[in-house]
């Protein structure tokens, strides 16, 4: 059983956030290997570029459920389109932030 981290201190909160980020990255990689390698139509998703997904969130969730890909919380067969959206939305937000900071020169 996974031990729940105590988030009463800043250090513990940062450690928990880092652990969650690592888990999200692992899940994205597993989806890329099990779902996108087989079903990707554009070729970008196979390489890890998720800026424009060629599959809908519903298609990804249904395929992940069929293939028994575990979610971020290690549950199999419980993917929902909103979970897929949240997983990939984080990457879009990071990419947009990096793009803005590159051109934000005073």
* Distance in Å from the first CA to the final CA of the chain: 51
- φ, ψ of residue 40 in degrees (nearest 5): -65, 135
Token pair of 74, please?
A: 């290690």
pLDDT value of position 50: 84
- CB–CB of 24/63 below 8 Å? no
Instruction: Give tens-digit pLDDT for 25-83.
Output: 999 999 999 999 988 888 888 888 888 889 999 999 999 999 999 999 999 999 999 99
pTM above 0.75, yes or no: no
């Amino acid at each position: 059983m996974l031990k729940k981290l105590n988030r009463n201190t800043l250090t513990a909160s940062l450690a928990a956030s880092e652990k969650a980020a690592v888990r999200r990255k692992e899940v994205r990689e597993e989806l890329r290997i099990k779902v996108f390698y087989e079903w990707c139509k554009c070729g970008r998703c196979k390489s890890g570029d998720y800026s424009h997904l060629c599959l809908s969130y519903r298609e990804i969730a249904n395929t992940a459920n069929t293939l028994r890909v575990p979610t971020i919380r290690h549950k199999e067969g419980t993917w929902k389109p909103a979970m897929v959206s949240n997983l990939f939305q984080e990457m879009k937000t990071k990419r947009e932030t990096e793009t803005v900071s590159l051109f934000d020169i005073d």
